[in-house]
Amino acid sequence: MKTNFDEFESDRLIHDPANYRWGIFYFNPKGSRIGVPKYNKVMGWTLNFGNIYSYLIILALIAVILITTLLG
């Protein structure tokens, strides 16, 4: 169960510019979340590239696109 502290800490990490690579890629290996709101919340969500599951999601999307393109 998430506590208010966990939510505060998570929000603090998301808004920390040190957790962004090149200003656009969120990279926080200590964070357990895969999807996080972008620095500017109006812009939507992004992946936490410090989490291995983010890369698996990207590879799965590429595989689906390639399979549907080659078989379609």
- Digit-by-digit pLDDT tens for the chain (72 residues) are 555 546 677 777 888 888 999 888 999 998 888 998 887 778 889 999 999 999 999 999 999 999 999 987
pLDDT value of position 23 = 81
- The structure tokens 């505060």 sit at 8
pLDDT value of position 13 = 80
pLDDT value of position 6 = 66
Compute how many other C-beta atoms are within 10 angstroms of the C-beta atom of residue 36.
Answer: 19
